[in-house]
Structure 1
Amino acid sequence: MKKLTKQNNTTPRQRWVYVILGIIIMMCLGTVYSWSVFRLHIEALYNVGTTQSGFPYMISLAFYALFMFLTGKHLDKYSPRLIISFGSILVAIGWILSAYAPNIYILTITYGVIIGAGVGIAYGAPMTVVARWFPEKKGLAVGLILTGFGLSPLITAPVARYLIEVYGIVQSFKILGISFGIIIPLLSYPLRYPCDNDYKYLKTTSNITENINDVNTEKMIKSKSFKGLYFSFIIGTMIGLMLIGMTSNIGIELIKLPSKTVTLLISLFAVFNGISRPIFGWITDKLSPRKAMRISYGLSIVAASLMLMADEGSLVLFIIAFSIFWFNLGGWLAIAPTSTLNIYGIKCYSQNYGVVFTAYGIGAIIGVLASGLLMDFLHSFNAIFYFVIISCIIGILISQKI
């Protein structure tokens, strides 16, 4: 009896520690969003254009989504610390090998394939941990964890810029790789899933019951709601990832801002990317997935319209528009997992969200290729913003199926 009482007294504190650790882990993994800081240096180093400099970023996001899917069905079989540690080793190796890449194609393998795979392996475990520890507020808890991934550029973009200025891009890759290879495994060590006694306690204190609407992956894929969720997620992430990857280029080349100013603004945008995750997690819980999606699409249309009015020196328009774009990408990375939990239940969540998350990879490929091709052939940033508006209108129509 004394043992049970002790557990009841410590469980609430314990589960919030998991949230904090998960946020920091996600912040390390989210360095992929700081690619725009490296992009112009990569173009100069390898003498490549916008399309080619987007290859490592695009492939990294695609493999991140692929390995999130492949790892999903194994999250229940192994401890979260083991999965996260294994993923972090790949992340570290990828960063270090990127320092030795002789051309953009090898960099696409080291940064894209290896780092992307590592991030995908590690990404799902912290989310699954907190989703199980917070059954009464899954959307908020998952959103908080994802805040770390979104806020990553707030820390990593200035750090990366500083490292590049002091040590050069090659040494910067090595330093980041070694750092992540040490930090992430240490942070993952305390993480664990609730045991049977924990579940009994959580059900008692949270006043929840078993979800009778649990749906397995096969049934989920056949449902009409899945198609609406999947294609909406593709469009939402396509827009966000495309514009996050182009932030530096647009700030420097269109608005004519100094690179240092753009880097500082990326840190600001990262705040919006981070805070949107618990906000959209809460909106999806309280309203509905469909309404949350429409809000996001509407905001993207507003942001793209503002950028169509922007030209050299339009600092305020740039800040407002890209704060919205970064905010919306973070929102989609809360809308999708929260919708998956709410519609299909917790029982098969790891596998179900692994499938849903492949839409992220497809969105990354389409978005990065589309923006690169539009710039290389039309040489117009406005073409990108018109593309965004049309995509949002299509997304609003598709979201009707959810």
Structure 2
Amino acid sequence: MVTTHDDSHANAELTLFGRPADQGRWLLIPLGMSILLCLGTVYSWSIFRKPLEGEFNIGATESLLPYTVALVFYAALMPIAGFYIPRIGTRTVTAIGGTIVGLGYILSSFATQIGMMTLTYGVIAGTGVGITYGVPMAVVARWFPDKKGLAVGLTIVGFGLSPLITAPLVNHLIDAYTVRPALRILGIAFILIILAIATTLKLPPQDWFPKRLLATQSTSTPAPTYAASLLKSRSFYGLWICYTIGALVGLSAIGISSPVGEEIINIDPKLAASSVALFALFNGVSRPLFGWLCDRFKPHYIAIASYTLILIACVLMLNAQEGQVATYLIAFCLFWFCLGGWLAMAPTTTLRFFNPDQYAQNYGIVFTAYGVGALLGTLATGQIRDWFGSYTYAFYPMALLAMVGIVVASTMLKRDRLIERP
């Protein structure tokens, strides 16, 4: 269906939050950030972990299970939820996912052993995160056809900065009420916040454009064309491999940030733990920055730049000596910075290469790369430490993967030459 200029002009006159849509759409970004801030609390598991180890009388490996399972279910539910967003609506999907997240936390407060906690926090809360995560990004992507990367990057800042903001809150709740009531309070708060924001999330009409775009748009301009099938597109596999590498290296580094500082650099454990706040800041800032860059440059150039930064970080850590705190901080700021960058690059590249009207489904499939990277990354670093006796050896495969990423990005992370009209 071809939309006339008059129809498009009528769409541009829509209002959002009582303001012209061009202005009102910006409010969707902080609302989406707020939802992702709640969801990102899953990354604060380490705060619950220590007191639960004592209560359940378990070791460090067992206490990591709920977090690992949560990451897997979060990634696995993303593609499934993506197919339901256009069918049952953004508000319904958000409400369902937010309720499941909250229930996961509430039920976790009644868990009496690690298996039950893995089910409630890992499976249930992780499922809720996976269902809800893609909705705010799908909404802002449709409302910002002129600034896709920047809008998506700003929205997912909420997820990246969540540990920085929610970790002190969680610590305060645990100190005031102990672990179980803290989980219950968080669960109730998440349900109320996400349900309230869900009522505001809606997609624009199919052919809506901001007035600024309409002013330069010609009715004779042909509609953009995209690959007819995501899974038959070479660029999809290039993006999937690059995203897997970015997630694997980034999540591996995140998982060993504090122990590497203590073991290799021999810094004070409290300083190692507090430095995570600095790393989280870099992880959050990189998201809108990389999104903005992807709006302006070809994605494979940005991918190559991120892998180059990862290589620099690996070289720094392979040559790090005891007492070189600055080297450690610079290297891990780069690791966290690049992981945040990939969480903006991947959705923005999906929007550029494939039909934006099918973004929720497409990015759900692309996001499986994050799940694979999360699973392999969290398992590999621990094994390397056990095999070789030091985390230093983990930076060799990270550097190798970064070099592989540069090759894949250079050859495959490009729009398909033969584009079929859907």
TM (normalized to structure 1)? Answer: 0.90
Letter in 2 for 1:347: D
Mapped partners of 1:32, 1:100: distance in 2: 18
The alpha carbon displacement at 1:138 in A equals: 0.8
Match of 2:349 in 1: 339
- In the alignment, does 2:147 pair up with 1:147? no
Q: Per-residue displacement from partner, 1:179-198 (whole Å, max 9, x unpaired)?
A: 21222222222121113684
Q: Answer with 286-295 or 252-261: which moved more.
A: 252-261
State the one-letter code of the partner of 1:234: T
* Aligned equivalents of 1:274, 1:198: Cα separation in 2: 30
Name whichever of 157-166 and 253-262 sits farther off. 253-262
Contact persistence 1:91–1:180 (CA under 8 A)? yes
2:11–2:205 contact (8 Å) kept in structure 1: no
For residues 206-260 of structure 1, give each alpha carbon's deviation from its aligned partner in whole angstroms, at most 9, with x where no partner exists.
74867522334xx111121111111111111111122223333334555455555
Structure 1 consecutive aligned stretches of length 4 or more whose deviation exceeds 6 Å: 3-6
Q: Which residue of 2 aligns with 1:367?
A: 377
Alignment equivalent of 2:330, drawn from 311, 314, 320: 320
Query: 2:226 — aligned with what?
Result: 214
| Matching residue of 1:161 | 171
1:107 to 117, 126, 135: 117
- 1:355-394 maps to which residues of 2 (within 5 A)? 355-394=365-404
CA contact (8 A) 1:306 1:321 kept: yes
**Structure 1: which amino acid aligns with 2:21?**
T
Say whether the 8 Å CA contact 1:62–1:361 is kept in structure 2: yes
Once residues 290 and 46 of structure 1 are traced to their aligned partners in structure 2, the CA distance between those partners, rounded to angstroms, is 47
Flag the 1:49–1:287 CA change in 2: closer, same or farther, 3 A: farther
> In 2, distance between residues paired with 1:116 and 1:348?
24
- Contact kept in structure 2, 1:33 and 1:245, CA below 8 Å: no
State the match for 1:80 in structure 2.
90
Q: Would the alpha carbon gap of residues 116 and 76 (structure 1) be closer, same or farther in structure 2, given more than 3 Å must change?
A: same
Work out which of the two has the higher radius of gyration on C-alpha atoms and give 1 or 2: 2
Q: Secondary structure at the match of 2:86?
A: coil
Instruction: Find out whether 1:401 has 2:412 as its counterpart.
Output: yes
Q: Distance in 2 between matches of 1:43 and 1:301?
A: 36
The number of aligned residues is 399
Query: CA 1:51–1:356 in 2, change beyond 3 Å: closer, same or farther?
Result: same
Distance 2:262 2:120 in 1: 27
Kept after mapping to 1: 8 A contact 2:279/2:336: yes
Q: d(CA) in 2 for partners of 1:179 and 1:254?
A: 40
Between the aligned partners of 1:233 and 1:35, the Cα distance in structure 2 is 24
Q: Larger deviation: 33-42 or 223-232?
A: 33-42
Residue 88 of structure 1 aligns to a residue in which SS?
helix
Q: Does the 8 Å CA contact 2:29/2:155 hold for their aligned counterparts? A: yes
* 1:107-137 CA-partner distances (Å, limit 9, x unpaired): 2222221111101111111111111101111
SS of the equivalent of 1:136 reads: coil
1:233 is aligned to 243
Q: How far did residue 96 of structure 1 move?
A: 2.1
RMSD between superposed Cα atoms in Å: 2.6
Q: CA deviation at 1:301?
A: 1.7
Corresponding letter in the other structure for 1:82:
T
Question: Who is 2:27 aligned against?
Answer: 17
CA distance in 2, matches of 1:183, 1:353: 25
In structure 2, distance between residues paired with 1:198 and 1:99:
45
Q: Report the Cα offset of residue 329 of structure 1.
A: 0.9
Work out the CA distance in 2 between the residues paired with 1:394 and 1:4. Answer: 45
SS of the residue corresponding to residue 75 of structure 1 reads helix
Structure 1 portions without partners, runs of 5+ = none
Whether the 8 Å contact between 2:82 and 2:363 is mirrored in structure 1 is yes
- Paired with 2:216 and 2:275, the residues of 1 have a C-alpha distance of 40
Quick one: distance in 2 between partners of 1:373 and 1:4?
Answer: 56
Secondary structure of the 2:200 match is coil
Q: Deviations over 1:331-356 (max 9, x none)?
A: 11111111111111312211111110
**Does structure 2 conserve the Cα–Cα contact (< 8 Å) formed by 1:37 and 1:157?**
yes
Deviates more, 1:192-201 or 1:231-240: 192-201
Native 8 Å contact 1:277 1:334 kept in 2: yes
Residue type of the partner of 2:408?
A: I
- Secondary structure of 1:183's aligned partner: helix
Amino acid at match of 1:157: A
Distance 1:317 1:343 in 2: 38
- Distance change >3 Å, CA 355–CA 311, structure 1 → 2: same
Q: Select between 35-44 and 146-155 the one with higher mean Cα deviation.
A: 35-44
Instruction: Tell me the TM-score normalised to structure 2 length.
Output: 0.86
1:2-401 equivalences under 5 Å are: 7=14, 10-195=20-205, 198-199=208-209, 204=214, 207=217, 211-216=223-228, 219-257=229-267, 260-399=270-409, 400-401=411-412
> Aligned partner of 1:282: which letter?
W
Q: Are the aligned partners of 1:49 and 1:376 in contact in 2 as well (CA < 8 Å)?
A: no
How many percent of aligned residue pairs carry the same amino acid? Answer: 43
- Residues 75 and 203 of structure 1: CA distance in aligned 2, closer, same or farther (over 3 Å): farther
- Residue 22 of structure 1 and its aligned partner are, at CA, apart by 0.7
CA distance in 2, matches of 1:401, 1:196: 31
Distance in 1 separating the partners of 2:238 and 2:207: 38
Tell me, in whole angstroms, the C-alpha distance in 1 between the residues paired with 2:404 and 2:296.
25
